[in-house]
Amino acid sequence: MRNQLLLDFSQKYKLELKKLKIEKIQNGVPRLFYDGKDLGLVISLTHCGVFGGFSYCPEIPNKR
């Protein structure tokens, strides 16, 4: 799921995949970094995130 999120994000915003990575910062919260810069996006597999004019919504399967 993590690799798919990075792939989707790089394609959607035309970013280099090899420069994107997810790192855990304070309190173990995973955040998205690009080329060493914190994009301010807390990674969630269930919620949308918004940063610097960008937004990202993971595909969420319907749970019934």
Taking only the tens place, the pLDDT of each residue in 31-44 is 888 899 988 777 66
Regions in the chain scoring below 70 on pLDDT:
1, 43-64
Would you say residue 40 lies in a domain?
A: yes
Would you say residue 30 lies in a domain?
A: yes
Count of the separate structural domains present in the chain: 1
Burial 18-40 (b: 16+ CB within 10 A, else e): eebeeeeeeeeeebbbbeeeebe
Residue 4: CA atoms inside 13 Å, Cβ hemisphere, count? 7
pLDDT at 16: 94
Q: Which domain holds residue 15?
A: 2-56
The tokens for 34 are 């690009």
How far apart CA 2 and CA 15 sit, in angstroms, is 16
Would you say residue 31 lies in a domain?
A: yes
pTM, full prediction: 0.61
Would you say residue 63 lies in a domain?
A: no
Would you say residue 45 lies in a domain?
A: yes
How far apart CA 62 and CA 64 sit, in angstroms, is 6
Would you say residue 22 lies in a domain?
A: yes
